[in-house]
Amino acid sequence: MIWTPGVARAARRIAATAAVGGGGLTALGVATYGLLYAQGVLARRVIGRPHGLDGPPSDGVYGDFEGEPIRLVMMGDSTSVGLGMTDPADTPGVLIACGLAAVAERPVRLTVTGVSGAASADLGDQVDRALNANPDVAVIFVGSNDISTQTLPAQAVRHLQKAVRRLREAGAEVVVGTCPDLGTVRPLAQPLRWVARRWSRELAAAQTVGVVEAGGRTVAFADLLGPEFETNPGEMFGPDRYHPSRRGYLQAAYAVLPSVCTALELWPEPRPARGESIYLAAARAAEEPGAEVSATRVAGRATGPHGRWVTRLRRRPGALPHDA
């Protein structure tokens, strides 16, 4: 966690810039960002276009239960649609829907508005379609393409924050899986992998600040797939070595499901002994795969001397089933 203070400062700068408009390049600087983008283009040539452009169609009702379905919307980029999978059952939306149905003992109606290749700027159109489904909860996976499309971090956060606000104003709970650690992607060579790791964690921390300020909660992907990727890359990443495999999507779904259940009050909301400053909590969460950040109050106050009070739950993703 040696980057935490610097990431916290970067998250604060990005969030402040997002609030007033502008770019906010952070400490990485223009030259480093240019290097990241240039090497990223080369990496994408190595990776190529995996499995077509879309995930398998997965809209539908899941869970063999009686009652009014819970309305779940899955939004974001290629990871939200399960790019690389051929069976809808292997996509994160269906995995979350089935898990949610089992916990709630109610059916879940899933609507996927995510689009492969989408960045945060594309969330507006996705929200338009999502609101037609009158969602109870929306899950958003976004961030990686903001880097590959040269989107300045404050602009990306502003688009994400606007999307969350619109969903919350419509009555939906919102859970955002923040930008994953792109330093785990093997086709990226050094120094790009180091830069990608720093950049993605700064963006993830800033996303957390923006999302919580807008009324949502975040789950940090960080290097969620990193440890298993190191020991078994063939199982955790797909053939393109960039998008997750079936086991990788399952790990992501397992990380998000507890927060979805808590947001819908299906599980009790655990409370740590004390609240934290949003900026430091966001930076720490960006380095803790599975960590959830949500707003709280301390002594009846929503804000303290260093910004909004939040709780950071150190949820650790559990072991995957052996037959996953």
pLDDT of 186 strictly over 80: no
319, part of any domain: no
Give the lowest-confidence range in 51-55, 84-88, 199-203, 288-292.
51-55
pLDDT of 49 strictly over 80: no
Q: How confident is the model at residue 184 (pLDDT cuts 50, 70, 90)?
A: low
> Would you call 309 helix, strand, or coil by DSSP?
strand
What CA–CA distance (Å, rounded) separates 165 from 89? 30
Active site residue 78: yes
DSSP 122: G
Mean pLDDT for the chain overall: 79
Position 236 scores a pLDDT of 38
Give the residue-averaged pLDDT of 169-185.
86
Per-position DSSP letters for 34-94, written without gaps between them: HHHHHHHHHHHHHH---SSSSPPP--EEESS--SPPEEEEEEESHHHHTTT-SSGGGSHHH
Give how many domains the chain has, as a whole number: 1
Output the pTM of the full model: 0.84
Position 142 scores a pLDDT of 94
Q: How confident is the model at residue 12 (pLDDT cuts 50, 70, 90)?
A: low
What CA–CA distance (Å, rounded) separates 254 from 248? 10
Give the lowest-confidence range in 144-153, 195-204, 207-216, 238-247.
238-247
Backbone angles phi, psi at 225, to 5 degrees: -90, -5
Position 256 scores a pLDDT of 95
CB 288 within 8 A of CB 219: no
Position 234 scores a pLDDT of 44
Q: Which of 78, 80, 259, 277 is catalytic?
A: 78
Q: How confident is the model at residue 2 (pLDDT cuts 50, 70, 90)?
A: very low
Tokens of 130: 């999502």
pLDDT of 228 strictly over 70: no
288, part of any domain: yes
Amino acid at 49: R
Position 10 scores a pLDDT of 62
Q: How confident is the model at residue 251 (pLDDT cuts 50, 70, 90)?
A: confident
What CA–CA distance (Å, rounded) separates 94 from 67? 19
Tell me which H or E stretch contains 97.
helix 92-104
244, part of any domain: yes
Amino acid at 274: R
Tokens of 221: 């992907």
The boundaries of the domain holding residue 229 are 4-313
CA distances, 231 to each of 72, 101, 237 (Å): 34, 32, 11
CB 240 within 8 A of CB 50: yes
Q: How confident is the model at residue 37 (pLDDT cuts 50, 70, 90)?
A: low
Q: Which residue bears the tokens 């990485």?
A: 28
Tell me which H or E stretch contains 176.
strand 173-177
Active site residue 128: no
> Any residues with CB less than 8 A from the CB of 149 and at least 6 apart, and which?
119
Tokens of 122: 């594309």
Give yes or no for a cis peptide into 272 (omega within 30° of 0): no
Higher pLDDT, 119 or 22: 119
Q: What is the CATH number of the domain that holds 195?
A: 3.40.50.1110
CB 72 within 8 A of CB 112: no
Give the residue-averaged pLDDT of 274-298.
88
pLDDT of 217 strictly over 90: yes
- Residue 149 half-sphere exposure toward CB, CA atoms < 13 A: 16
320, part of any domain: no
- 180: burial class by Cβ within 10 Å (0-12, 13-18, 19+)? buried
Q: Which residue bears the tokens 């609030």?
A: 19
Q: What is the pLDDT of residues 155-175, one digit of tens each?
A: 999 999 999 999 999 999 999
Pairing between β-strand 307-313 and β-strand 276-277 as defined by DSSP bridges? antiparallel
Tell me which H or E stretch contains 248.
helix 246-263
Active site residue 87: no
Compute the CA torsion angle 39, 158, 205, 312 (nearest 10 deg): -150
Position 245 scores a pLDDT of 75
Position 201 scores a pLDDT of 85
Position 301 scores a pLDDT of 86
149, part of any domain: yes
Higher pLDDT, 61 or 33: 61
- Residue 86 half-sphere exposure toward CB, CA atoms < 13 A: 2
Q: What is the pLDDT of residues 56-114, one digit of tens each?
A: 999 999 999 999 999 999 999 988 999 888 899 999 999 999 999 999 999 999 999 99
321, part of any domain: no
Q: What is the pLDDT of residues 114-170, one digit of tens each?
A: 998 899 999 999 999 999 999 999 999 998 888 777 678 899 999 999 999 999 999
Position 110 scores a pLDDT of 98
pLDDT of 237 strictly over 50: no
Position 26 scores a pLDDT of 46
Q: Which of 120, 159, 243, 277 is catalytic?
A: 243
